[in-house]
Amino acid sequence: MSLHSMSLHSDADESALLTVEGAGHRYGQQFGCQDVSFDLWPGEVLAIVGESGSGKSTLLGMLSQRLTTDEGTIRYRPADSSGITATAGAVDLASLSERDIRRLWRTEWGFVHQNAADGLRMHISAGGNICEPLMANGARHYGQLRAQAEHWLERVEIPSHRIDDTPATFSGGMRQRLQIARNLVFAPRLVFMDEPTSGLDVSVQARLLDLIRSLVADLGLSVIIVTHDLAVARLISHRTLVMKDGVVIESGLTDRVLDDPQAAYTQLLVSSILQG
Ligand SMILES: Nc1ncnc2c1ncn2[C@@H]1O[C@H](COP(=O)(O)OP(=O)(O)OP(=O)(O)O)[C@@H](O)[C@H]1O
């Protein structure tokens, strides 16, 4: 079964992890993004694509609560164990305290930055980078932490003998793989990714994309990934939102959006890529 034909929400009892309705963020009088609506399902990978300045980063910032939601609502369904009181299973993120949001970051959400240095502690060891999120959740047993770190280094294809080296000594691709390990080690439910492969050599990008794709599928993660690269969206996402001037102008299953774009702008975007 292909990634795109997988049934993502066949279980009738399963509800959306994230429900976005008419959401927007303003910079002063100007909207950075507006009137955005979509559902994100458990295990679903959603790509946000568009040209520079189309509002992708603003939307990701708003969804991940780094920017305010100035219109509309973003509702999230926390894990039963979260301790967050949710009405009908979901909670309006704007109503949560900073403490609750911090708890979500510690236990349920990950963020993979474009620049690995923004998501890593560059001067602590690779093992320390992986163990820190576990320790923030109370893990203390040295032997178990070290075993987890070794396991995750292997999973992201970093030789485990590099465990005591700092990421400052790693290549760009290795740093990005370490950032991914640091974000996945505590088994989050939702991971935001901001252009995680750009800035790397093409061959390194391809390997990293393959790795992200297999980890996401193995762990059943929900992912929202911003990319200006339609090939990235094609490779790893089930569904794609196309943005222009701060609004979503087209959305649908990725294969449909890229093979049979309906909006003139998407047609232009796809054909400009094809012409290379
Ligand atoms: N801090 C800010 N203050 C004012 N306006 C901003 C700010 N950040 C972004 N904008 C504006 O919001 C709009 C959307 O920008 P955004 O950075 O979200 O686009 P993007 O699609 O992520 O672009 P890129 O791919 O270049 O990162 C643009 O018109 C931009 O000028």
Question: Could you give the CA distance from residue 126 to residue 160 in angstroms, rounded to a whole number?
Answer: 9
What is the ipTM, given to two decimal places? 0.96
Q: Say yes or no: CB of residue 227 within 6 Å of ligand 1.
A: no
Name, in order, each residue with C-beta under 8 angstroms of 83's C-beta and a sequence gap of 6 or more.
Answer: 103
pLDDT at 83: 80
Domain boundaries, the chain: 122-186
Q: Is 54 in the pocket of ligand 1 (CB under 6 A)?
A: yes
Across the 276 residues of the chain, what is the mean pLDDT of every consecutive 10-residue run? 44 78 97 98 96 96 96 95 81 94 95 96 96 92 94 95 96 95 95 93 89 92 95 95 97 97 93 66
Report the half-sphere exposure of 208 (CA within 13 A, side-chain side): 27
β-bridge pairing 45-50 and 239-244: parallel
Asked whether the beta carbons of 215 and 5 are under 8 A apart, the reply is no
Distance 235 CA to ligand 1 centre (A): 25
Q: Whose CA is nearest to atom 5 of ligand 1?
A: 27
Q: Name the residue type at position 275.
A: Q
Residue 81 confidence (pLDDT) = 80
- Give the model's pLDDT for residue 2: 41
pLDDT at 1 (0 to 100): 38
Q: Is the CB of 61 under 6 A from ligand 1?
A: no
Task: Check residue 274 and give its pLDDT.
Answer: 57
φ and ψ at residue 205, rounded to 5 degrees = -60, -45
Ligand 1 centre to CA of 53 (Å) is 5
Q: Indicate which atom in ligand 1 lies nearest the CA of residue 33.
A: 14
> What pLDDT is recorded for position 183?
96
Token couple for 198: 């750009």
Which of helix, strand or coil describes residue 214?
helix
Q: Considering only CA atoms, which of 94, 66, 42, 63 is closest in space to residue 248?
A: 63
CA dihedral 163, 168, 171, 172 (to 10 degrees): 120
Contact 34 CB / ligand 1 (< 6 Å): no
Mutate to test the pocket of ligand 1, among 49, 58, 66 (most ligand atoms within 8 A of CB): 58
A 10 A CB-CB count for 207 gives: 15
pLDDT value at residue 275: 54
Partner residues linked to 241 by β-bridges: 48, 251
Please indicate whether residue 32, judged by its CB atom, sits closer than 6 Å to ligand 1. yes
Alpha carbon nearest to ligand 1 atom 29, residue? 53
DSSP conformation class of 12: T
Mutational pocket test of ligand 1: of 26, 29, 56, 224, the residue with most ligand atoms within 8 Å of the beta carbon: 56
Question: What pTM was computed for the model?
Answer: 0.92
- Do the Cβ atoms of 193 and 225 come closer than 8 Å? yes
